[in-house]
Amino acid sequence: RPHCHDKLDECASAPCQNGGTCVDLVDGYRCVCPPNWHGTACQYDVDECVTEPCINAYSCQNTVGDYFCKCQKGWSGKDCDVNINDCVGQCQHGATCIDLVNDYHCACQPGFTGRDCHTDI
């Protein structure tokens, strides 16, 4: 039977959820929660969308332990902060391609014209 000097390990029952780390204290415990969780036992999901992490997005959706950004056209990346390169394979005859958002512009070499510099003048 336990004596007064016996220390109980309050963390033995693994009270912390969702990857929380249990710290055994005198007469109790404390959970150190991962960034996306909070509560005394890390039982509550943090709504990451409150901080508006999505930059060029239609919406932010809170998911369990994370979030998801629905990017506008021309953008990618977790936070929709990466401009998709629309230049790949577009400009012809040695033209220089300038990447825009969800678009591109070809700076044609002398003697060529058209959106993709495909027309010989």
Domain range annotation of the chain: 13-45, 48-82, 85-120
Q: Which residues contact 24 (CB under 8 A, 6 or more apart)?
A: 9, 10, 11
From CA 110, how far away is CA 114, in angstroms rounded? 12
- Does the structural domain 48-82 have CATH classification 3.40.50.170? no
CATH of domain 85-120: 2.10.25.10
Q: What is the pLDDT of residue 9?
A: 86
The 3-state secondary structure of the chain, one letter per residue: CCCCCCCCCCCCCCCCCCCCEEEEECCEEEEECCCCEECCCCCEECCHHHHCCCCCEEEEEEECCEEEEEECCCEECCCCCEECCCCCCCCCCCCEEEEECCEEEEECCCCEECCCCCEEC
Average pLDDT over residues 58-87: 96
Structure confidence at residue 8 as a pLDDT band (50, 70, 90): confident
Average pLDDT over residues 95-116: 96
User: Could you give the percent of the chain with pLDDT greater than 70?
Assistant: 94
Is the model's pLDDT at 16 over the cut of 90? yes
Average pLDDT over residues 112-121: 94
Q: Could you tell me which CATH class the domain 13-45 is placed in? A: mainly beta
Same fold, 13-45 and 85-120: yes
